[in-house]
Amino acid sequence: MDMEGKVTVLRSGNAPALLADRQTILFEDSETRLWHTCDLQGKNDELFGDGMKGYGFPAVAPDGKRILMMHFKTGALPEPMVLPVGKGEGEVITHVGGLWGMPSWR
């Protein structure tokens, strides 16, 4: 949606997030559940990192170099993780269980 409220469909997908370059959209492919990037016109689709299967709710760091995401594993509680942009591995922030909402940077 632009600043005047006009909606333009770019492509199918979930949970779009604008990366720090302000030219790249991170999104989850609806069918494969893998993460991809595209440009602002919805073109130039590329797999993001290794596809980040099992990750969700991306929050891009203010410095643009890291992404905070929830990691969902079968049979385990989700864990918040910090990952370098474009990498398939990162660091668990905490192993404390509980109900986690959508992560954000403060």
How much is the CA Rg of the chain, to the nearest whole Å?
Answer: 14
In three-state secondary structure terms, 79 is: strand
Average pLDDT, the chain: 88
Q: What's residue 31's pLDDT? A: 93
Residue with tokens 């979930």: 14
pTM: 0.83
Question: CA dist 17 to 22, 25, 29, Å?
Answer: 10, 6, 13
Tell me the one-letter amino acid at 23. Answer: Q
Please choose, from the candidates 7, 25, 24, the residue with its C-alpha nearest in 3D space to the C-alpha of residue 16.
Answer: 25
The fraction of the chain above a pLDDT of 70, given in percent, is: 99
